[in-house]
Amino acid sequence: MRTLPDTEPDAEPASARRAPPRAKRSRHPKTAIEAYGMLAPSIIGFAVFLIAPIIVVVALSFYDWNLLSDPEFIGLENYRDLAGDDRALKSIGNTFYYVLLNIPAQTVLALALALALNAKIKARNAFRVIYVLPWMAMPVALGVIWRWVFDPAYGALNRFLDLFGVDGAAWLTDSAWAMPVIASVNVWQYTGYTMLFFLAGLQAIPAQLYEAADVDGASPAHRFFTITLPLLRPAMLFVLITSVIGSFQVFDTIHVMTAGGPAGSTATLNYQIYLESFTQRNAGYASMLAVILFAIIALITLAQVSFFRKRTTYDFS
């Protein structure tokens, strides 16, 4: 008669089992010190060259200081004087006018170039380099060249128009034309740079999405508005934030081409800060304008981030 092998007792229920003890995290103070040591130059530079100047400027906005005598605390007087300062208020309006001229044109042209250069065309790498070259040039040097091009009396543009019997405008001395001319120069300079970010965004979109749209018979316009544009929102957010900040800080082109004229029609807020600080020697008032500029840029940036936050996807899989 065959005997059955001895069976082991029933295993303990899962609830009675004890979870293995967690391994204690080993701390390596030496590694942490080395990491902080490597980060120290960046942290120190960030604090010294960004945080400290912001604090100093905010503090100076409550003082009256002519850069020579000792600063005098005047509280909110600089901020109250802003309401009656026509030049400063006009410079704020000029700044928004410049941004509205610059950002839409630059963004649309950069996106159009990116779409064209993302296609399989001959010498597209050469075209990419050519369009980025203006961004690599110094704004001051370009300002000198464009000032000659738009000079009403001896400029190349009006000389060219004379060949066809067309009277050229007073591009830089007419308040109706001066700001659009400056905006067009900056659009020409920075469109190629902006194009690179859109081009990178286009190349990150999976090709399978377009293939599926082709199978469904989607038109090019439908593919653009349902696939390309929504998936370009991360690049669009970056481009808009950096472009708007740069536009609010425009200085070089204005200083070289018009010096804020004619009649203050191209004096932006950043240029007005320069005039108040180094021409009028009113550092306290200039610091107040800098705080206003910082607040405007911060509010617009926060609005952009809030708008794109729920409308942007970073997962293309």
4: confidence class by pLDDT, cuts 50, 70, 90: very low
Which of 110, 309, 78 has its CA nearest to residue 202? 110
d(CA 64, CA 283): 7
| Residues in CB range of 226: below 8 A, 6 or more apart | 213, 218
81 lies in a domain? no
d(CA 119, CA 110): 15
pLDDT at 153: 86
For residue 123, give the CATH number of its domain: 1.10.3720.10
pLDDT at 34: 84
Does the pLDDT of residue 1 top 50, yes or no?
A: no
Task: Assign 312 to helix, strand or coil.
Answer: coil
- Could you tell me if 245 and 297 are in contact, meaning their C-beta atoms sit under 8 angstroms apart? yes
253 lies in a domain? yes
259 lies in a domain? yes
Q: What is the mean pLDDT of residues 260-289?
A: 94
pLDDT at 2: 47
pLDDT at 123: 81
Q: What is the mean pLDDT of residues 225-230?
A: 90
283 lies in a domain? yes
Q: What is the DSSP letter of 279?
A: I
Return the higher-pLDDT residue of 2 and 39.
Answer: 39
pTM here is 0.84
237 lies in a domain? yes
75 lies in a domain? no
Return the higher-pLDDT residue of 313 and 48.
Answer: 48
CA angle, 199 as apex, 315 and 317 as ends, to 5°? 15
What range does the domain containing 221 cover? 86-309
Which helix (H) or strand (E) covers residue 86, if one does?
helix 86-118
**Angle, in degrees to the nearest 10, between helices 233-248 and 175-203:** 150
Q: What is the mean pLDDT of residues 67-96?
A: 94
Which of 273, 293, 285 has its CA nearest to residue 66? 285
d(CA 99, CA 130): 25
313: confidence class by pLDDT, cuts 50, 70, 90: confident
Number of domain units in the chain: 1
d(CA 274, CA 290): 10
pLDDT at 241: 95
272 lies in a domain? yes
Q: What is the mean pLDDT of residues 221-239?
A: 92
Which helix (H) or strand (E) covers residue 63, if one does?
strand 63-64
Return the higher-pLDDT residue of 87 and 6.
Answer: 87
97 lies in a domain? yes
